[in-house]
Amino acid sequence: MARRVSLPTADDLFRPTVEETEDESPVAAVTEPAVKAVPKATAVPKGAAKNSRRPSSGRVRHDEKMTVYVTADELVDIEHARLMLRRDHGLAVDRGRLVREALAIVLADLERHGDDSELIRRLLG
């Protein structure tokens, strides 16, 4: 029988564990991690109509799967966005979550603006 091995998360691997003091002797750091996993957002942004926000599925177990092929440049762009969200905003988001959120934004825009949506303009253009 195969045994599942429990591995540390990325937050555990990249958090500071030792902090240097003025006399340069290591002291165990007792700080909150700077990066946190992003929970499913339920709040509607200020100024947005309640019906204009189409929520993504967030961090749940997904039963359906869809394969999407992307170019190397598109994959690099997605990874760059993910790392920027982590660095600049402290948001730990995986690529799947990032794509689901982007999809929710595009579908909400299509629903709200119809023929004038950004998706229609890009597909026609």
pTM of full prediction above 0.75: no
> Residue 19 carries which DSSP code?
E
Asked whether the CA dihedral 5, 82, 55, 41 is positive or negative, the reply is: positive
Phi and psi, residue 106, nearest 5° = -65, -45
Asked whether the CA dihedral 37, 33, 15, 30 is positive or negative, the reply is: negative
**For residue 30, pLDDT beyond 60:** no
Inter-residue contact 107 to 54 (CB < 8 Å)? yes
Tens-place pLDDT, residues 58-109: 667 778 889 999 999 999 999 999 999 999 999 999 999 999 999 999 999 9
